[in-house]
Amino acid sequence: MENMGLSTNPSFLDVELSQTLITSPSISTLMHDEEASICPLLSNNNISGPLEMSHPLSANCTSKDVSLSNANFKAETSSSGSSTGLAMDASESPSTNLFNKTNYQNLQNTNVSSDQESSRQYIRGNMHHSEEAPLFVSWNWPLIRKFTLFIFLSALLAMCSVVVAKIAQLPKTCNPKTAWYRGSVFYEIFPASFQDSDNDGIGDIGGILNRMDYLASLGVSAVRLNSIFDSAHYPDDYDNPTSITRISSVIGKVTDIKNLANALHQNNMKLILDLPLRQVITKGISNEGNFNDLINGALIQWISHGVDGFYLKGLDKFASNFMLGNHLALWKRNIGSNVVLMVEESTFMNKSYAEIADISNYIDLVDIRLNVGSGAKAIDQRIKYILTQLLPPKEDGAWAHWSIGGVDSFNRISQVADSPKFALATTIMQLMLPGTPSIFYGDEIAIESALYPNNERNDMKHLHHLVPMAWPNATHQFTSYHTLPWISETSSYNFEYSKLIAKMISLRDHSPSLYKNVICKQNTKLPNTQIHHSNDDIIMIERSYPRRNSFVSITNLKGKNVTLDLTSLFYSGNQMLTENEGEKIYFNSLEILPLETIVVKLDK
């Protein structure tokens, strides 16, 4: 500066400042009571008097005066629009005051550390490893929460699955239940004519086993076998057995009966045997004790082989015996309530109503033969007699077992009116009756009796209706092509009829109006069957049940069309068993074809 002609005398550089600028009057008014301080950024430790402020342009001010302790924080205050700055010396860092708990006495005491990093370590580390902390603090809580959530969701899903499965298993209908033999459909088989399994020309038990799928497809509840017992010339003299405990070797062994019973049970069917007692009982029976021992022994033996019921044929010979009720009571007690006993209608001949009621307590079914060739009026009278006098409908006791064909009928239904349609029409009508209908093998396809030209084999004329069963598979008939059957076969049948019969059986099984024979109300039982007929050989069977659709079948037994106006009885309904099942029909002008039965589900 001397080269520039300027003096370097220090006295020329001094600036004399006013005392008022060096010392601020507000300094003296600062609160020096540390207990009253609420601002942690203001230092209040070691302050004995007012703070001394120095002007930054004064000679006493150095660059170090504006540096705060520990170089952690720097405070500058300046006035906008003014060239004057103030610097405040403090012996303590504001950051230290910030975390000094003495400055927060007006607030709750906390555990916050004066240093942020040490506070973070305290939260993450020191507390985690504290010996005084509970053990669960050190657990892996994120993993525990995930695992608990997984368990909860799995349990919830499992419960929902169980609920859905239970709902799916609930019955879609709530139909009343009955015993397995009440209201169901039986299928009667002559074993020697159903199916030959060993190609000897005679049907056998093994053949019935081979046709189990067919029986299941029909939907029948029980298979009833005609006499299977040993005789001198089985099957020609099947009705003259020499024993009721030995099976004829021509049709199988006792083990075959066991296998058949097991197979039927697996397909929800039962096995019933015919016990021909007439000839057996007359041989060597000298007293009541022998009589009971013979029957009891046979019943117990066949039950042990899986048999579920018996048709006691020939008891009518002893119908005059006043001890018959006692015998039946003894047999029933020995075999149990789940095993069925069936007798012929002739067992009730010449019996009083009291005796009939007593016998009915120990039997389950009574075989009722229905002559469908006698006309609508006779059929109407016959059914009404059975339902009103002989076997009035009731929940317990004996039920009617309806047969329109069978081993004792000596004729086929289809030949009554010389038309296969007659067999179909009367079989469907039979399935509308209250009780337990029975179908004779082959009637479901309208099979005809064996035909012998020129009156051949007249010695077997009583067996011609026991024709070998026909099957739709041309390569798997009754027996092999190289073997002649024991009786002549027939070529007259219709396999389509069996499909309609199966549909009718299914409809019956699922309709209380059809399989129940009585409406049970408090202290009273009402019939659920009404029979109507006309002079035109029209017979109508109406079935009903509370809170269910009623059904009516209309059968035309004449060989010509009939048009009816039934609006006085019915209005409308849906026709069943047709290709267009459920088709709406009205009864103001109803046309029935010859030898036809229509089934209508009436509108409620």
**Tens digits of residue pLDDT in 258-298:** 999 999 999 999 999 999 988 776 665 556 667 788 899 99
- Shared domain for 89 and 196, answered yes or no, is no
Among residues 66, 91, 107, the one where a domain terminates is 107
DSSP 213: H
72 Cβ neighbours under 8 A, 6+ residues apart = 93, 95
How far is residue 441's CA from residue 191's CA, in Å, rounded to a whole number?
Answer: 10
Token pair belonging to 472: 């739709």
- Residue tagged 């039946």 (tokens): 328
In a domain, 569, yes or no: no
Query: What is the CATH classification number for the domain harbouring 417?
Result: 3.20.20.80
For residue 130, what pLDDT is reported?
Answer: 53
Q: Which domain holds residue 496?
A: 186-515
In a domain, 521, yes or no: no
Token pair belonging to 410: 């000596």
Domain count across the chain: 2
For residue 61, what pLDDT is reported?
Answer: 46
DSSP 469: P
In a domain, 118, yes or no: no
In a domain, 537, yes or no: no
Of 303, 223, 298, 225, the C-alpha closest to 263 is 223
- Shared domain for 271 and 360, answered yes or no, is yes
For residue 596, what pLDDT is reported?
Answer: 95
- Give the residue ranges of the chain where pLDDT is below 70: 1-131, 281-289, 319-322
How far is residue 330's CA from residue 315's CA, in Å, rounded to a whole number?
Answer: 15
Among residues 484, 515, 546, the one where a domain terminates is 515
User: Within the chain, what is the greatest distance between any pair of CA atoms?
Assistant: 173
Cis-peptide, bond into residue 235, ω within 30° of zero:
yes
Token pair belonging to 281: 């009982």
In a domain, 159, yes or no: no
Quick check: helix, strand or coil at residue 11? helix
Quick check: helix, strand or coil at residue 503? helix
In a domain, 121, yes or no: no
In a domain, 339, yes or no: yes
- Shared domain for 341 and 469, answered yes or no, is yes
For residue 413, what pLDDT is reported?
Answer: 92
Of 551, 420, 553, the C-alpha closest to 496 is 420
For residue 255, what pLDDT is reported?
Answer: 96
Instruction: Judge contact between 470 and 447, C-beta under 8 A.
Output: yes
Among residues 489, 515, 541, the one where a domain terminates is 515
How far is residue 391's CA from residue 182's CA, in Å, rounded to a whole number?
Answer: 14
For residue 36, what pLDDT is reported?
Answer: 46
In a domain, 79, yes or no: yes
Of 522, 515, 557, 523, the C-alpha closest to 540 is 557
Long-range contacts of 73-77 (CB under 8 A, 24+ apart): none
How far is residue 593's CA from residue 558's CA, in Å, rounded to a whole number?
Answer: 9
How far is Cα of residue 3 from the mean position of the Cα atoms in its chain?
A: 120
**Tens digits of residue pLDDT in 45-61:** 444 444 455 555 444 54
- Shared domain for 50 and 193, answered yes or no, is no
